[in-house]
Each structure stands twice: as C-alpha cells, then as structure tokens.
C-alpha cells in the first residue's frame, strides 16, 4: 500500500487545477462542455477516461475513487450510492444465467435478498455455508459455481473466513471472490492483498464517519472494474453524487484517527462489560476469548469499534428496560459515525417470539464512537443498576 498519510491527505488531489485551494472543489455539474465536434466525438468513444457526463466520470468523485482504490491496494475503485448498491453491482456484474453462488450464511440482509429473491429470476442459485471452515466452501462447490461471496467479520456475531484460504481455493477453480470489508475498512484488513478479487464496503459506516452520507465502494483490478464501469455502473446510474463524494473525502481525512479512537474505546467498554455479572459473553474478534481469535489476529491489523454481547436477562421486558435506560447510546441502525449506538437483536422479533434459551435474542450490539469511553461506561453502569433495581 502507498504510504497511508499520502493516500489520506494528498493522493488524487491536483491543487494547481483549482486555485491551490486546500480542500478539493465540489464539481457539482451534470455535464461537461467541449470545444469541437471532434473532441466530443472522441469523448463518446471512451467515457471511462473522459469527463463527459456525471453519471459516468466526475472530477470530485474521481479524487475519491483514487484514494479508495489506493486504500484497498487495488488498481481501481467505483463509489456508488449505498453499500447495498456496491453489493448489487459487484455481484450482478460477475454472474450470468444458470450460475451458482456460494455465500457465507447470514450475509448482510440485502445481499441475502439479492441471492434469494432477485437472482433466482435468472436461474442463479445460491448455497449458504458456515464460512468459518474452508471445507464447507469446497463441499458446496459445483461445476457452475462462479462466485463466492464473503463478509469477514460478520457485523453481528463476527464470524470470520480465512480469506487467503478461500481465495486460493476459488482461484484454483476459476471462481471470483467478493468480500464485504465494511467492518474493518482497508486500514484494518486488506482482502485484495489476501487474494480476494473484489473488496466492497458500505462507505456509510467508517469512511463517511459522520452519519450524514449513504454510499458504497467496490475496489479491484482494472480488468474487473473497467468493464463494470462501462456496463453495469453506467446502466444502473447509481454513481455517488459530487457533494456526497466531497463529504466522503472530508471523512477520509480523519479515517485513521477515528478508527483508532473507536477501536481503543470499544476495548475499554468491552473490558467493563466482560466483568459485569449481567453479561454472559462478549463477541469481539480481537479479544483472546473469541473463538476465531487466531485467524482474526492473522488477517486483521486491528478490530473496529463494533462488538456484541449477550445479557443474562431472561425476560424481554428487562432487556428492553435496560436498552431504554441508556442515555448516551442512541438506539439506531448503522455504525461507524461519531456517535455511539446500541441495537438489541430482540428489536427484530415480535415480543411473543422471545425465548431466553435462544442466546441470539439476548444479544446486544454496541458501536463505540468518539465519546470518552468513561462517559459510555457510566451510562451502561447506570442502566445495569436500573434493571437490577427492578427485581
Ligand atoms: C450497512 C452495511 C451494508 C449496507 O450498506 P448501506 O450503505 O447501508 O447500503 C453492507 N454490509 C454491511 C456489513 C453493512 O454493515
């Protein structure tokens, strides 16, 4: 990888082109004017390398693509209007009618929707495997398997795949691999250097970092990205808009610093939770108690600020009371912003479905943002005291 500081602060920026302004300009334009028929005619021939129309290339977006490609150690990158669009485009560009996909079980919900509801319309089937064991990929592979879809770690239970091993197997069979790397970002894990073909992210999370943009990234070799740009990307027209690209450029300036803060604070909050009598278990990939700690340590530089734990509370009302008592954690989806968040798994079920024997229902996910960890620990402590007072 290029020097990280160079990527974050300088790569792709050409200040001589915009009055030496330190911050890059928002080139908020739909189209670009040409001085002659001959020059627009040659632009029509190659939208990949020309600014012609902002559904294709745009200068502000271009700076962002260069930085994100370099961060991933990739030749090229596309930035789209959501992480879901990154999933959709990367997958749809790599499969054809009759193909078979192997996916990790419980991938991001809209990846699952794509595999279960949309691709079957073209006779494309999907087998879900427990990605923690490479043997499961080998066993699920068929002659028509063309794509393996990974998400490592998973953003709820943090299940991990051995990315090098899966990539090696896939290459031996001519199968394309995609990895959702939203949890780590390329700063903490580099799927491409481990042999994965396409690294995708929800840029809504850490890249934006301020809970104000929805966006997604696809990074890979020019051989994969350029045809994707010329076909699916241009056709779906979901490229990021210049102002949102500019907000992501602003987020990138502090990406390394925010990640470090979030990660370190999460570990402090987790240490508090591990000792608490109402906590059964914590799930954090780089905690030595984590079942896949050794593979996490081998392929991830650090873990992020997102982790989960199970509560020793056997009634859904008590779990809800605990969550409702938190004042410093916002109850909201997503993560990767400045603000700390909480999400109980039981928010996704009807109350009557709750069964304390199903550990998943007692699971709570925390995202630790930029706040002082002591401030967050005090809040958790008060909520625990409030729920203990109930009985
Ligand atoms: C949020 C998320 C996505 C989807 O990203 P959007 O930007 O919300 O479309 C995909 N994968 C993971 C792991 C996510 O957390």
Mean pLDDT computed over every residue of the chain = 97
Question: Is the pLDDT score of 356 beyond 60?
Answer: yes
- Residue bearing the CA closest to ligand 1, atom 11: 108
Is the pTM of the predicted complex or chain greater than 0.95?
yes
For range 235-246, the mean pLDDT: 98
Question: Is the pLDDT score of 391 beyond 90?
Answer: no
pLDDT at site 384: 98
Q: Does the beta carbon of 82 sit less than 6 angstroms from any atom of ligand 1?
A: yes
- Distance linking the first and last C-alpha atoms of the chain: 55
Q: Does the beta carbon of 84 sit less than 6 angstroms from any atom of ligand 1?
A: yes
Compute the chain's Rg from CA coordinates.
Answer: 22
For range 332-338, the mean pLDDT: 98
Question: Is the pLDDT score of 1 beyond 60?
Answer: no
Q: How crowded is the C-beta side of 61, counted as CA atoms within 13 Å?
A: 27
pLDDT at site 2: 64
Q: Does the beta carbon of 214 sit less than 6 angstroms from any atom of ligand 1?
A: yes
Distance CA 247, CA 243 (A): 6
Conformational region of residue 332, where left means phi above 0, alpha means psi within -120 to 50, and beta covers everything else: beta
Q: Does the beta carbon of 72 sit less than 6 angstroms from any atom of ligand 1?
A: no
Q: How crowded is the C-beta side of 319, counted as CA atoms within 13 Å?
A: 26
Question: Is the pLDDT score of 7 beyond 70?
Answer: yes
The ligand 1 atom nearest the CA atom of 155: 13
């Amino acid at each position: 990888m290029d020097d990280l500081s160079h990527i974050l602060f300088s790569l792709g920026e050409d200040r001589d082109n915009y009055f030496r302004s330190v911050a890059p300009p928002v080139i908020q334009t739909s189209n670009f004017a040409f001085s002659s028929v001959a020059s627009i005619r040659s632009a029509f021939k190659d939208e990949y390398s020309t600014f012609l129309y902002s559904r294709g290339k745009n200068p502000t977006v271009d700076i962002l693509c260069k930085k994100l490609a370099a961060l991933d150690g990739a030749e090229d990158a596309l930035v789209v209007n959501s992480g879901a669009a990154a999933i959709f485009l990367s997958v749809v560009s790599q499969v054809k009618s009759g193909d078979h996909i192997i996916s990790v079980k419980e991938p991001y919900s809209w990846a699952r929707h794509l595999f279960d509801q949309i691709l079957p319309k073209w006779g494309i089937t999907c087998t879900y495997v427990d990605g923690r064991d490479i043997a499961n990929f080998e066993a699920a592979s068929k002659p028509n398997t063309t794509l393996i879809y990974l998400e490592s770690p998973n953003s709820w239970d943090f299940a991990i795949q051995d990315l090098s091993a899966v990539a090696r197997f896939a290459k031996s069979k001519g199968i394309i691999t995609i990895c959702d790397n939203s949890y780590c970002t390329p700063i903490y894990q580099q799927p491409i250097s481990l042999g994965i073909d396409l690294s995708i992210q929800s840029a809504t999370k850490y890249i934006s970092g301020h809970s104000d943009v929805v966006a997604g990234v696809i990074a890979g070799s020019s051989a994969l990205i350029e045809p994707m740009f010329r076909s699916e990307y241009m056709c779906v027209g979901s490229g990021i808009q210049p102002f949102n690209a500019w907000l992501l450029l602003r987020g990138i300036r502090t990406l390394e610093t925010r990640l470090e803060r979030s990660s370190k604070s999460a570990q402090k909050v987790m240490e508090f939770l591990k000792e608490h009598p109402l906590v059964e278990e914590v799930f954090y990939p780089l905690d030595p108690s984590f079942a896949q700690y050794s593979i996490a340590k081998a392929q991830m530089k650090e873990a992020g600020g997102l982790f989960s734990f199970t509560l020793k509370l056997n009634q859904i009302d008590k779990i809800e009371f605990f969550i409702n008592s938190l004042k410093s954690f916002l109850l909201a989806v997503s993560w990767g912003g400045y603000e700390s968040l909480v999400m109980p798994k039981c928010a996704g079920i009807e109350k009557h479905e709750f069964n304390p024997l199903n550990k998943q229902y007692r699971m709570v996910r925390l995202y630790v943002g930029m706040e002082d960890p002591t401030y967050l620990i005090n809040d958790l402590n008060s909520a625990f005291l409030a729920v203990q007072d109930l009985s």
